Structure 1
């Protein structure tokens, strides 16, 4: 059974401090790498234990990120029908603090030569500030599961040698997960430790396979245990790909029940791959857009978030409500 919804006012400023809520001190630690302005590190004396991260610049009042999944088909800007160069142009125009990709970065088998020939020609311009996660297509590489993905992104995607990691920006804690291995106890144990170590007010997580989607690739039960962990720790936001459409959901619990104190999910699989149709509208789905391409422009503050869906024609296809961190 999911936790009972809290009685406090939904997403209000009260009781937001995770330090106060969990009694966790701010950690000190050993720096691992400075990647795109974000310092990745682990707690002192625990270089191989639960990771933690700290923003190199310290908390800021607000910042912008871009998110998309399902990106680079095997085509280039020389083809007018090729979409990933067009979504990359949006990223360049927005100029975000960092970029989140929600898997299936490169089609079809995500070989290193494919990354170099296609993804790198468009989204590769933002590689140094990209925080990627792998999708199922990254596992199809004949050289080995995730081989091309790991070779291409390197320490950007593997700051501690694993395909999952976390980082902080401002008062937000971001968790990048590999949903290809959600049945891996090691990743789940890492996630539990990461959430326990977090001292930030606001939490967002992203991975490839969505728990909730009105498309044919949605409602994947492999993601439910992760949702429960995030829900129990009062995470605000989950981002996914896999289904090639855009969708946003009202706050809900891991069982798909509307919950004003629940998690907001964004599905952003419009990065460039051929679109999919909507098949069955799910409860709590507030907006669905298909047969279009674009990126999710996220606006984060120290106390909340909102976003816009920006299409390749420059139009804003959707504007979200504003949400406060819990």
Structure 2
């Protein structure tokens, strides 16, 4: 059942009438009746939980504003576009009995309230086709899932959709709620043409470290095999070290993968097989927990097909947090320096509120403060990490870039990234097993 109470007209605010007093008295009596006890037992389970949305008008109107308990704040979508949605992660599977929506003047004429166990497949709990704003109370629900969203299909005004509060009531299922936490190991510029029999050979050591960390999965940021990434070299070198956990690896190619005399990326594709192009291309995406990972081929950033795919992929993403990785960094203090080939991709990721970018190409470790595509430090910017110390000969630091917070050259190692449902942190771990740098804890946008 939905009870709708439209916002009072300004002239009537603060006016207490006899009818209102009677209604308050009757309401109090109804609340005291035994049959209402069950409803009172349900708790507010959405306050302060991680939220995401299809869009936000500005960062001041982010989706988290609809779950902060402050009636003065609000989420507002981009204007003039249908459909739009806002979603909350309840932190664990829950039974939802009631949902309260407090609309701002930009309300939904038509919308659905939906629930999902995995954030991908949705079940409808309620459906509105003649909304008029104010406060909508959906009661008598019996939905089960971890994620709840309000999916607007028709605006009630020429603006967007805007909610002061979304309140979800119910009970969280028993047991310890899943945190969604997981660890990833990443590196670029990995396998030189050497083996463990050579004491100066680094990639067997970084592989041993990566294996010891035992992450959920591994990422490579290109130049996986030197010098021209032939299949024979992959089998002779990379396969003996990093290849031992190939089935848990999500790779991308670097420029050295394009040097194969048998054809660009021939050895890379032959070695990794469908792992290298699980969606039919050398760029792809996948989800883990509350994170959406985007693997890109920076050798082909000038190709419209990849750019169009990236825009479409991010548009349909339902995860709160976004990480992307490829070979050529937009910003670097190393020998290769800044690479403008990545600027258009940064523009797209920044507009989609992406959180983290991982790159290789320059053979050093570097951590940048969150910044926008133009290199301006900003709290809603993207954190970039250069992690090209997987085994190739180190490059010196040459020209320190603005917003570069930490640089290490000459010490081989891997990135250890720790992800949660709402944020991340990372460290650069040397082959001696010691953390050489540790990041702050970041919250997803």
Q: What's the TM-score bracket when you normalise by the shorter of the two chains?
A: 0.7 to 0.9
Are 1:74 and 2:126 an aligned pair?
Answer: no
For the 8 Å contact 2:337–2:399, the answer to whether it is kept is: no
Partner of residue 258, structure 1: 377
For the 8 Å contact 1:296–1:308, the answer to whether it is kept is: yes
Match of 2:280 among 161, 165, 170: 161
Are 1:242 and 2:366 an aligned pair?
Answer: no
Q: CA–CA distance in 2 between the matches of 1:166 and 1:20?
A: 28
User: By how many angstroms is 1:13 displaced?
Assistant: 5.3
Q: Based on CA coordinates, which of the two structures has the bigger radius of gyration? A: 2
Q: CA–CA distance in 2 between the matches of 1:6 and 1:105?
A: 39
Task: Return closer, same or farther for 1:12/1:146 CA change in 2, 3 Å cut-off.
Answer: same
Q: CA–CA distance in 2 between the matches of 1:14 and 1:168?
A: 25
Q: CA–CA distance in 2 between the matches of 1:73 and 1:125?
A: 16
Unpaired runs of 5+ residues, structure 2, are 1-56, 68-74, 78-83, 87-113, 123-177
User: By how many angstroms is 1:23 displaced?
Assistant: 2.1
Q: CA–CA distance in 1 between the matches of 2:296 and 2:180?
A: 26
Task: Return closer, same or farther for 1:141/1:15 CA change in 2, 3 Å cut-off.
Answer: farther
Q: CA–CA distance in 2 between the matches of 1:319 and 1:87?
A: 18
For the 8 Å contact 1:170–1:302, the answer to whether it is kept is: yes
State how many pairs are aligned.
290
Are 1:86 and 2:205 an aligned pair?
Answer: yes
Partner of residue 33, structure 2: none
Partner of residue 176, structure 1: 295
Are 1:8 and 2:60 an aligned pair?
Answer: yes
SS of the aligned residue for 1:306 comes to strand
Partner of residue 44, structure 1: none
Are 1:23 and 2:23 an aligned pair?
Answer: no
Task: Return closer, same or farther for 1:20/1:166 CA change in 2, 3 Å cut-off.
Answer: farther
Q: CA–CA distance in 1 between the matches of 2:226 and 2:247?
A: 21
Relative contact order, CA 8 A, sep 6+: which one is greater? 1
User: By how many angstroms is 1:12 displaced?
Assistant: 10
Deviations 1:288-314 (A, max 9, x none): 000110000000000000001100011
User: By how many angstroms is 1:61 displaced?
Assistant: 2.1
For the 8 Å contact 2:188–2:359, the answer to whether it is kept is: yes
Are 1:98 and 2:217 an aligned pair?
Answer: yes
Unpaired runs of 5+ residues, structure 1, are 30-58
CA RMSD of aligned residues (A): 2.2
Deviations 1:258-294 (A, max 9, x none): 1111000011000000000111100000000001100
For the 8 Å contact 1:13–1:324, the answer to whether it is kept is: no
Higher strand proportion (structure 1 or 2): 2
SS of the aligned residue for 2:204 comes to helix
Q: CA–CA distance in 1 between the matches of 2:183 and 2:354?
A: 19
Are 1:126 and 2:259 an aligned pair?
Answer: no
User: By how many angstroms is 1:240 displaced?
Assistant: 0.2
Task: Return closer, same or farther for 1:116/1:289 CA change in 2, 3 Å cut-off.
Answer: same
Deviations 1:38-81 (A, max 9, x none): xxxxxxxxxxxxxxxxxxxxx75200000100000000111100
Partner of residue 304, structure 2: 185
For the 8 Å contact 1:241–1:267, the answer to whether it is kept is: yes
